[in-house]
Amino acid sequence: MFLLFTSSGEGSCNGSSCAYTDYCAYHGAFGSAPVVYSNEPYGDPSVCSAGGPFPTGDAAADTAVGTATHELTEALTDPELNAWYSALGNEIGDLCAYDYGTNTWDSGQANQMWYGHFYEIQQEYDNHVGGCVQVGP
């Protein structure tokens, strides 16, 4: 999967839908192989986060991490946009969007720690438990 990140001030539109008014990121595929990708506009925390906390101290970077993990999870379960949707028409990442669970790392500022770095990442839906769960290290 290719993740294409844009910098601050760069526009991003998919047809008539544009970043920050219609989406914070999206994934798709093209070609017969196919090539799976996500469009990851600059992480604007004013519209694409739950408002913090921002454990890295960089709100835009933390927001970008959140949208990237969301799209990666969706692309794993629905790489060509023709596979898994809920009864409401949502993909797996949408079912737990902006639901971070309990922050147990970095004095309550993060819910994940990878290689000594702290992150705030949304939970993901788990069919087995029938709800949002926090997984990982």
Render pLDDT for 24-73 as a digit per residue (tens, 0 to 9): 999 999 999 999 999 999 999 999 998 889 999 999 999 999 999 999 99
Render pLDDT for 117-134 as a digit per residue (tens, 0 to 9): 999 999 999 888 889 998
Q: Which of 54, 61, 126, 50 minimizes the C-alpha distance to 135? A: 126
75 phi and psi angles, rounded to 5 deg? -65, -30
pLDDT at 137 over 60: no
Residue 19: DSSP 8-state: B
pLDDT of res. 34: 94
Mean pLDDT of the chain, nearest integer: 92
